[in-house]
């Protein structure tokens, strides 16, 4: 994607989504990192709005970023778009070095294609064995990311360096759900003994100005988690 010009930077920005969605949170954090003002149009569990279905007719999913009347869909595509559309604003979200950029994209795909499935697998598990296996997979995935952090990014505040970057957003916006699933399902996921680097990283991520207020606290998630559990189980 080519970066937009200064005139396009000033065009109206809207974001469609729900406050509880980690995917919507990714778009919000990316906009905050770049200092982009936007209007947040909240969707509800009652049904998808006409604007959402019109803006994303293929999947009908959140989030949708509308920039100057043009919709952009899929959370990590939106993150990249925000970085490129407001390229003149610092910091950059995607790493500059090709290897770091490829690494961040690889692990973001791992998070979305495999790890998140296991995370919500804990929530919807109907047996103790299924919950235990999903928990094992989630913790194993976090340990892999711990190893990546130590090997590639040790000494940096974030995966993105001194500032929140692409992989930070991909993983960090799941922290609310990690917290509520840990509580509701009585499991230990982010553990000081098994993933000490990620525990420290998570604290820094949540306290960053771009994130504060975007990811709700665990208490705010409990009721939503029960609704999501019922909905996902009905789809099984």
| Tens digit of each residue's pLDDT, the chain (236 residues) | 333 444 556 789 999 999 999 999 999 999 999 999 999 999 988 889 999 999 999 999 999 999 999 999 999 999 999 999 999 999 999 999 999 999 999 999 999 999 999 999 999 999 999 999 999 999 999 999 999 999 988 889 999 999 999 999 999 999 999 999 999 999 999 999 999 999 999 999 999 999 999 998 888 889 899 999 998 888 87
Distance, in Å, from the CA atom of 73 to the CA atom of 69, rounded to the nearest integer, reads 13
Which value, to the nearest 10 degrees, does the dihedral of the CA atoms of residues 183, 185, 191, 193 take? 120
Q: What is the pLDDT of residue 236?
A: 73
**DSSP annotation of 70:** E
Alpha carbons 3 and 55: distance in angstroms, whole number? 22
User: Other C-beta atoms within 10 Å of 222: how many?
Assistant: 12
CA 60 and chain centroid, separation: 18
The residue extents of the domains of the chain are 6-85, 98-235
pLDDT computed for residue 153 by the predictor: 86
Query: Which CATH code fits 98-235?
Result: 1.20.1050.10
Tell me: cis bond preceding 48? Omega within 30 of 0 counts.
Answer: no
Q: What are the helix (H) ranges across the chain?
A: 6-9, 22-34, 50-55, 75-85, 98-110, 116-124, 128-152, 166-172, 175-184, 196-207, 218-235
How far CA 12 is from CA of 2, 34, 51, 88, in Å, comes to 19, 15, 16, 18
What local confidence, expressed as pLDDT, does residue 10 receive?
A: 73
**Is the separation of the CB atoms in 112 and 170 below 8 Å?**
yes
Superfamily assignment of 6-85 in CATH?
Answer: Glutaredoxin (3.40.30.10)
pLDDT at 8: 58
Six token digits for residue 137 = 């997979």
Q: What is the pTM of this model?
A: 0.94
Per-residue confidence (pLDDT) for residue 9, from 0 to 100: 65
Gap between the Cα atoms of 212 and 206, Å rounded = 6
């Amino acid at each position: 994607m080519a970066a937009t010009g200064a005139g396009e930077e000033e065009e109206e920005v809207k974001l469609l989504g729900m406050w509880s969605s980690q995917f919507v949170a990714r778009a919000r954090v990316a906009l905050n990192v770049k200092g982009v003002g936007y209007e947040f149009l909240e969707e509800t569990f009652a049904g998808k709005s006409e604007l959402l279905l019109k803006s994303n007719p293929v999947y009908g999913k959140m989030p949708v970023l509308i920039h100057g009347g043009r919709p952009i869909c899929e959370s990590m595509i939106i993150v990249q778009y925000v970085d490129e559309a407001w390229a003149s604003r610092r910091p950059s979200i995607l790493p500059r070095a090709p290897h770091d950029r490829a690494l961040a994209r690889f692990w973001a795909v791992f998070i979305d294609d495999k790890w998140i499935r296991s995370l919500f697998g804990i929530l919807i598990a109907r047996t103790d064995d299924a919950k235990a296996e999903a928990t094992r997979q989630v913790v194993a995935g976090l340990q892999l990311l711990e190893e990546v952090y130590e090997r590639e990014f040790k000494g940096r505040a974030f995966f993105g360096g001194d500032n929140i970057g692409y992989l930070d957003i991909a993983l960090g916006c799941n922290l609310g759900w990690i917290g509520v699933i840990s509580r509701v399902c009585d499991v230990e996921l982010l553990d000081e003994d098994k993933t000490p680097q990620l525990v420290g990283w998570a604290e820094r991520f949540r306290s960053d100005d771009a994130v504060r207020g975007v990811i709700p606290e665990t208490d705010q998630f409990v009721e939503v988690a029960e609704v999501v559990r019922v909905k996902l189980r009905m789809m099984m």
